[in-house]
Amino acid sequence: MVQKNVRIRDVARQAGVSTATVSRALTTPDLLAEATRENVFAAIRATGYRVNKAARTLRTRQAGAVLVLVPNLGNPFFSRILAGISARLGDRDTSVLIADTMNRVATGKSLVDYFLDSQIDGMICLDGGLPENDLQQFRDNGLADRIVFACEWVQNTDLPSVRSDNIQGARLAVRHLYELGHRKIAHVTGPLDNVLTHARREGMLIERGRLELPARDEWIIRGDFSLESGREAAEEIIRMENRPTAVFCASDQVAFGLMSTLTARGLRVPEDISVIGFDDIELSDFYVPSLTTIRQDRHALGTRAASLLLECIDPQSTADGHRKTPVIVDVELIVRHSTAMA
């Protein structure tokens, strides 16, 4: 911080009132007579006063900040969500801290520490793979009700969350391929222990069953949402004797990795094999070929998660019942050029 001279006392002196009055002008202006209020605001402007957040936090035990925990900032998927969160939180004077799960491990700082150091009031977690250890620490410290999950969530808990309709998304994807005449449909999943992986795989299986499509174990390929895992999946597909004619990828990045390698190996997308992704990041429209995918409304995921968190940490809110039901955000099929008639 920097040496700053003007304290609340200076404003009080300037306005000819007590510090209490100045403080009230800022936090509960209704309590003041109009003339006094105007007077105080004039003094604030005149002195260029700014409240010292550290002092306020110390006294009120409210940090006025929220932490967003992102699994991987390098994945452009998250940016819009962050924008959504900021948009919702920005007008209140809540600041948004962003941390990356991957980096965090390195720092050795535990997550509860953010709370215990009174640096944040709440957390939006975009990583459902939060170690049980961390979660337990939250519960131990009575902090479990200050966390909201977005996109991902933790299974078998009733922590509040906002999610895309992943099952529906997967079903849309499969149905789209089906309608193009594809019957042999493969799926590159996310990482084994991820909730999105389960949901999307389940949606895929449901729809495949409903449409009575053939199933082969090798057509379910394990990935991890990354470009690299798309590459590996492509290698596997190329090796298959009974190749699928279409692949539903659990993320756009996987789809890119997949298409990149398929093409490098002489398979054409979509002529030889159709590919569909999940997420609809900006780049999907600019890939070659442009990627058919399931769009998640990332901005909505962000704003809703922020709203939900505000509800949770707002002390006068009592509606904790409905929080346990996840908020579901609709997805949408975006048809581009990576899918074609079988």
Partner DNA sequence: ATACTTTGTGTAATCGATTACATTTATCAT
Partner DNA sequence: ATGATAAATGTAATCGATTACACAAAGTAT
Window 214-233: residues binding a copy of itself (CB under 8 A): 227, 230-231
Query: Should residue 136 be labelled a site residue for a copy of itself when binding is judged by CB under 8 A?
Result: no
Query: Should residue 295 be labelled a site residue for a copy of itself when binding is judged by CB under 8 A?
Result: no
Interaction partner, residue 256 (a copy of itself, DNA, none; CB < 5-8 Å by kind): a copy of itself
Q: Which of 259, 309, 327, 331 binds a copy of itself (CB under 8 A)?
A: 259
Q: CA distances (Å), 339 to each of 25, 31, 170, 228, in order?
A: 61, 63, 15, 21
Residues between 68 and 127 that touch a copy of itself (CB under 8 A): 72-76, 78-80, 82-83, 86-87, 90-91, 93, 95-100, 102-103, 106-109, 113-121
The CA distance from 152 to 148, in Å, is 10
SS (H, E, C) 103-115: HHHHHCCCHHHHH
DSSP state string for 202-256: HHHHHHHHHTT----GGGEE---SSHHHHHHHHHHHHH-SS--SEEEESSHHHHH
Beta partners for residue 293, in sequence order = 277, 334
Interaction partner, residue 200 (DNA, a copy of itself, none; CB < 5-8 Å by kind): none
Interaction partner, residue 17 (DNA, a copy of itself, none; CB < 5-8 Å by kind): DNA
Residues between 21 and 40 that touch DNA (CB under 7 A): 21-24, 26-27, 31-33, 35-37
Query: Should residue 18 be labelled a site residue for DNA when binding is judged by CB under 7 A?
Result: yes
Q: Residues 114, 67: contact at Cβ < 8 Å?
A: yes
Residues between 31 and 60 that touch a copy of itself (CB under 8 A): 50-55, 57-58
* CA 106 to chain CA centroid, nearest Å: 21
Q: Which one of 17-25, 140-148, 186-194, 243-251 is the stretch in contact with a copy of itself (CB under 8 A)?
A: 140-148
Residues between 42 and 61 that touch DNA (CB under 7 A): 49-52, 55-56, 58-61
Interaction partner, residue 143 (DNA, a copy of itself, none; CB < 5-8 Å by kind): a copy of itself
CA atoms within 13 A on the CB side of 19: 7
Q: Roughly how many angstroms between the first and final C-alpha of the chain, as a whole number? A: 63
Buried/exposed 193-221: b ≥16 CB within 10 Å, e otherwise? ebbbbbbbbebbbebbeeeebeeeeebeb
Give the total of residues touching a copy of itself (CB under 8 A).
71
CB of 14 to DNA, least distance (A): 12
Interaction partner, residue 321 (a copy of itself, DNA, none; CB < 5-8 Å by kind): none
Q: CA distances (Å), 158 to each of 99, 112, 198, 305, 322, in order?
A: 24, 19, 17, 15, 11
Q: Which one of 2-10, 175-183, 248-256, 294-302 is the stretch in contact with DNA (CB under 7 A)?
A: 2-10
Question: Which residues are at the interface with DNA (CB under 7 A)?
Answer: 4, 7-9, 16-24, 26-27, 31-33, 35-37, 49-52, 55-56, 58-61
